Chains A and B, each alone.
Chain A
Amino acid sequence: MDSPSEPRHAPPGNLLGMSGISKRFGATQALDDVSFELAAGRVMALIGENGAGKSTLMKVLSGACTSDSGSMQVAGTTYRPTGPQSARDAGIAMIYQELNLAPDLSVEDNIMLGQEDHRRGLLARHLQRPRVRKVLERLGHPELQPETPVHELSVAARQLVEIARALVGQARVIVFDEPTSSLAGADVDRLFDVIGRLRDDGIGIVYISHFLEEVRSLCDDYTVLRDGHVAGSGTLTNTTEADIVAMMVGRRVEELFPTVPHTIGDPVLELQSLTGRNTPQQIDLVLRRGEILGVAGLVGAGRTELLRCLFGLDPVVSGTVQVAGLVKRPSPDTMIRSGLALVSEDRKDEGLAQDRSLADNITYSRLDLYTRFGWLNLNRRHDAVNRCMAGLEIKAVSPEQPVSELSGGNQQKVALARVLHQDADVLLLDEPTRGIDVGTKAEVYRLIGEQAAAGKAVLFVSSYTPELLAVCDRIAVLARGRLHDVRPAADWSEESLIQCAIGSEAAVS
């Protein structure tokens, strides 16, 4: 963080100032001269696509990583975090998507974790308890009992515990990272109410979200990041949604979603009242050759579970799966042999074996192509993998390079390469464009189109509605594990899709 230039001091009244922040990871410039300012009592939206640099910027702020250059000030004094503890000391708190709570400890113990009231090491509960109650009251939720173990709480209540912990730690800046992604409608309103209270108390809030409607209803200011740069910032009242999207994307919308003409043929995958352990529930769906069928829904609606269940990764409780007219008992092995292939939403923990080579990762599902009596012909495999890599323009040194050394976009291409190498008839793609840059996204859309044109069927799960609308022939909406509506993509709009997903959730709950 040693900048050769003189640190520019934030103007008075600014609670947090970050200026000229740059950070490089290997070949990627994650942040490039980013400046970011936050005033007390304001809610700042931090907007940007995956990989735009939002999380890296927040990691720099929280001391989880050090920037290569740039400086930071909190309330006028220079702030150089050396780790999470110094961020806490400076009054900066993070509320992450995956909550950082100890599930077996009580609400009180979680709130006071690491900041316990004590006398010579002995816990002073009589001092602690009133503080905890006061903070919960300040958040407008005095009904939360300090003794309750956290694992008995709902996700929304757990979030409150995290916020309370930040308040006890005298937080002046609170960063919310996609806090609504796992909340239902009413809980979102309650969270917004809590955030409003914090703002009125003079706390500066950074609010990271994908949902522009949400940002508009809650935030005062915005900063848009794109490819590690600040693409724009200002006050939300002067800005339209279209402006913000243009800043996020940075190029004309037509070329973002390349399509390939394709014709729809006979049914190839048929689900009859497919039911899993929790989700999915009673799903009836027909997928045809040459068709791209989108699956929309909120987080927890059971989209991923639908794919896992029909692929045999999760147990099928009732219902049937038919592939090309034959009933199959789902297990990954049978499904792969029946011509199905799945790209996992979780590239890191499920999709790829990170420390294995590209060659291994691409061919794991069809090693039998290169074997005689169980022995592998590595030369033939090497050639085939080289062809896959060339076809998808995967940038890697050799087929033997470990997947972990590749960039996110190239890793995603490896996951897709496995599915193509498998030569499957039905592609189950779960968030195939998550965490990859705009250019690679466009390549993935073209690839999906080409597969459909080649007569393959694609089931395309995504949380990013624009891509579903642009790429799919039909879109199905799931809510609470049930199929709510299937319509041609032309009959949907971004609003009606979200409305259907949220509305159905509310109607069921």
Chain B
Amino acid sequence: MNPIRSRFARLAWSLGPLLGLVVVALVFGAIEYKVATGEGRTPQFFTPESLQVVLNHASLVGVAALGMTLIIIAGGIDLSAGTAIALTATSIAWLYRDGFDGMSGWRDTSPLLATLALSVVAIAGGLLTGCLCGLVNGALISLLRLVPFIVTLGTMTAFQGIGRTISGETPVRAYGKVPDLVASLQKPYPDPGWLMVSPGVWILIILAILVALVLRYTVFGRHVFAIGSNEATARLCGINVIRTRILVYTLAGAFIGVAGLYQFTVLGGEGDPVSGLGLELKVIAAVVIGGGSLSGGRGSVLGTLSGACIITVIQHGCVLIGVPDHYQDILIGLIIIAAVTIDQLRTRIGTN
């Protein structure tokens, strides 16, 4: 194989999903421009507001997809991501609601400290719930030697059931009990204007850089790739496959926790245990569109974020153009299939 071409091809491939995002954005921008000018409106697609909305909207799926990227690179899958997000959102809401009522005395004496403590407890509780969900998945898969698909199919239903149990069958509402700083996480137009995008987006960017660094520059990151690429080789090289896999799922659980917090604020301070169903498919789709391989060993942070943005750009673009909801679904479905087809073609060309 021609070495220069091969290196170039590898670089091009790693940027492929990003290019895909640019193409999708340009196509929708052009169509929206045409439609809007035709109807005498001002085109809205290429505006700062539009960017703010898209990025903010992508951040929820994006942050959960960071964890899913780790799982998929390690050769796994997590179908329970959606209901786990809902479960963490519910527990955050529950902690805020009951915590707020519980510390009414303290709130009178030192309101600032009480609010701070309440938020720390609620958010830490949410992250912990997420980690716990991941730990359960990872432990079941590793210790019982079950297929990730089956285990997480089971926990998907179970997590929703647990959520409904804590919530007592109704959404847990913590309206007015959440400090503004937390409540504004997912406000597309941030309050201090210099932030430019919502705090949720900034958190996503920081976490994404962190995950990318971990994947590239840590032993753990190499082990994740090794396990997904060839588990037998990993074992041969003395890598502790069980421990690494449990760690991967637990870490992904932490990202679920962050996504749960986003979900909680998107709903305006509410935790609804049935709100997350179907979200896992968007999360998985983001990773797959971003070049992640469900057979493991491949995936990247940049790709996943591009994948998440592609999905949101399509949704946002369709709204602006006035395309009904159900056409969006068809379009996103086709994009997933197209992304995987391109991936397959590349593998086939690579082996020939």
Task: Please list the residues of chain A having a beta carbon within 8 angstroms of any beta carbon in chain B.
Answer: 26-27, 313, 331-333, 335-337, 342, 344, 346, 349-356, 360-361, 364-365, 367-368, 371, 374-376, 378, 397-398, 401, 404-405, 418
A-B contact pairs, 20 of them (CB 8 A): A313-B235, A332-B236, A332-B238, A333-B240, A336-B237, A344-B232, A350-B236, A353-B226, A354-B230, A355-B229, A355-B298, A360-B226, A365-B238, A368-B219, A375-B217, A376-B217, A397-B6, A398-B3, A404-B350, A405-B6
Given that A374-B220, A375-B218, A378-B217 are known contacts, is A356 also in contact with B238, CB under 8 Å in the complex?
Answer: no
Would A376 and B230 count as touching, CB distance under 8 A?
A: no
Cβ contact within 8 Å between A349 and B232 = yes
Q: By the criterion CB–CB under 8 Å, are A335 and B238 in contact?
A: yes
Please tell me if B25 contacts chain A, counting CB pairs below 8 Å: no
Query: Do A333 and B222 touch across chains, with their CB atoms under 8 A apart?
Result: no
Name the residue of chain A whose CB is nearest to the CB of B232: A350
Ordered nearest first, which 6 A-B pairs have the shortest CB separation? A350-B232, A397-B3, A364-B237, A353-B229, A365-B237, A353-B230
Q: Are A374 and B219 touching (Cβ within 8 A)? A: yes
Closest residue of A by beta carbon distance from B221: A376
Q: How far is the CB of A345 from chain B (nearest CB, A)?
A: 11
Does chain A have a CB within 8 A of B297? yes
Which of A352, A371, A404 sits near B219, CB closer than 8 Å? Answer: A371
**Closest approach, in angstroms, between the C-beta of A27 and any C-beta of chain B?**
8
Q: A397-B6, A404-B351 are in contact. Are A352 and B230 (CB under 8 A)?
A: yes
- Report whether A367 and B222 are in contact in the complex, using a CB–CB cutoff of 8 Å: yes
B318 CB–A CB distance under 8 Å: no
Judging by beta carbons under 8 Å apart, are B226 and A313 in contact?
no
Q: Scoring B residues 214 to 251 as 1 if CB is less than 8 Å from chain A, else 0, what string do you get?
A: 00111110100110011011111111100000000000
Given known A353-B297, A404-B350, A404-B351, contact A364–B233 (CB-CB < 8 A):
yes
| Chain B residues whose C-beta falls within 8 Å of the C-beta of A374 in the assembled complex | 218-220
Instruction: Write out the residue numbers on chain B whose beta carbons fall within 8 Å of the beta carbon of A355.
Output: 229, 297-298
* Cross-chain contact A332 with B235 (CB below 8 angstroms): yes
- Across the interface, do B233 and A353 meet the contact criterion of CB distance under 8 Å? yes
Tally of chain B residues near chain A (CB < 8 A): 27
Contact at B6–A401, with CB atoms within 8 Å?
A: yes
A364 touching B350 by the CB < 8 A rule?
Answer: no
- B345: Cβ under 8 A from any A Cβ: no
Find A353's partner among B1, B216, B217, B234 (CB 8 Å cutoff). B234
CB distance from A427 to the nearest CB of B (A): 14
Q: With A332-B235, A349-B232 given, is the CB distance from A376 to B219 under 8 Å? A: yes
Q: Are A332 and B222 in contact (CB under 8 A)?
A: no
B contact patch SS: helix
In the complex, chain B residues whose CB is within 8 Å of the CB of A27: 1
Closest to B240 in A: A333
Q: B7 within 8 Å of A by Cβ?
A: yes
Tell me which of B222, B232, B236 contacts A376 (CB under 8 A): B222
The answer to whether B1 and A405 have CB atoms under 8 Å apart is yes
Docked Cα-Cα span, A351 to B83, in Å, equals 39
Query: Which chain B residues border A350 with CB–CB below 8 Å?
Result: 230, 232-233, 236
Q: How far is the CA of A361 from the CA of B1 in the complex (A)?
A: 20
CA distance A398 to B4 in the complex (A): 11
Residue among A336, A342, A356 with max Cβ neighbours from chain B (10 Å): A356
Residues in A with CB closer than 8 Å to B226 are: 353, 356, 360, 364
What residue in chain B is nearest A381 (Cβ atoms)? B222
* A344 CB contacts on chain B under 8 angstroms: 232, 236
Q: Judging by beta carbons under 8 Å apart, are B219 and A367 in contact? A: yes
Q: Using a CB-CB cutoff of 8 Å, which residues 174-222 of chain B contact chain A?
A: 216-220, 222
Does B239 lie within 8 Å of A364, measured CB to CB?
yes
Q: Shortest Cβ distance from A59 into chain B, in angstroms?
A: 14
User: What residues on A are CB-neighbors of B7 within 8 Å?
Assistant: 397-398
- Which residues on B sit within 8 Å (CB–CB) of A401? 3, 6
Measured CA separation A105–B208 after assembly (Å):
50
Residues of B within 8 A of A335 (CB): 238
Decide: A364 near B218, CB < 8 A? Known: A333-B240, A404-B350: no
- Alpha-carbon distance between A42 and B236 when the two chains are bound, in angstroms: 46
Residue of A nearest to B298 (CB): A355
Complexed CA–CA distance, A27 and B7 (Å): 18
A376 touches B218 (CB 8 A): yes
Considering the chains assembled together, what is the distance between the CA atoms of A350 and B231 in angstroms? Answer: 8
Q: Which of A364, A368, A401 has the most chain B CB atoms inside 10 A of its CB?
A: A364
Given the contacts A371-B219, A375-B218, A404-B350, A352 and B3 also touching, CB distance less than 8 Å: no
Task: Give the chain A neighbours of B235 by CB distance below 8 A.
Answer: 313, 332
How many angstroms from the CA of A378 to the CA of B219 in the assembled complex?
11
Chain B 335-351 per-residue mask, 1 if CB under 8 angstroms from chain A, else 0: 00000000000000011
Interface centre among B216, B218, B229, B230 (most CB of A within 10 A): B230
With a cutoff of 8 Å between Cβ atoms, the chain B residues found around residue A405 in the complex are: 1, 6, 350
Cα(A376)–Cα(B225), bound, Å: 14
